[in-house]
Amino acid sequence: MLSKKTKYGLKALSFIAKKECKDPVSISEIAKCENISQKYLESILLNLKKAGVLSSKKGKTGGYYLLKEPQDIPMSKIIRVLEGPIAMLPCVSLNFYEKCDDCPDEEACSVHELMIQVRDSTLKILENTTLADYTKK
């Protein structure tokens, strides 16, 4: 299940990507149009900025803008920035691996094998879908 943070981040990125002009978009405009708390949105957009998805411009005409074209931003990157691991269990995560405390043998664990399949299927979709695909009308 996606967190509200991720859902709001996707909505904000989609809003920015759909803008015809490439001028920075203010937090207040995004918050108002997407019905998101401005304060909460600020922290989400800062995370995306730190991860290199967005940049910002200060001042009266300031706001946030994409650093790359929407077709060059894979959904897997966005989900990892906002949500964390794509895998449902830490023992099958590619970037955030941790051994499960309650599992003595990963190779013999039937849950482990199933979750690898779920991870791989999910990852395939997210890596082959871009922000541009997500924002098509």
For the chain, give the percent of residues with pLDDT over 70: 99
Residue 112 is predicted with a pLDDT of 87
Which whole number is the average pLDDT over 33-43? 96
**What b/e readout covers 75-89, taking b as 16+ CB neighbours within 10 angstroms?**
bbbbbbbbbebbbeb
For residue 24, what are the domain limits? Answer: 4-66
Pair 43, 81 in one domain: no
Reduced DSSP (H G I as helix, E B as strand, rest coil) percent helix, strand, coil of the chain, to 5: 55, 10, 35
Contact in structure between 41 and 6 (CB atoms under 8 Å): no
Distances (CA, A) of 8 to 2, 41, 46, 65, 100: 10, 7, 13, 16, 31
Domain count across the chain = 2
106 pLDDT tier (thresholds 50, 70, 90): confident
Its pTM stands at: 0.88
Tell me: do 94 and 61 sit in the same domain: no
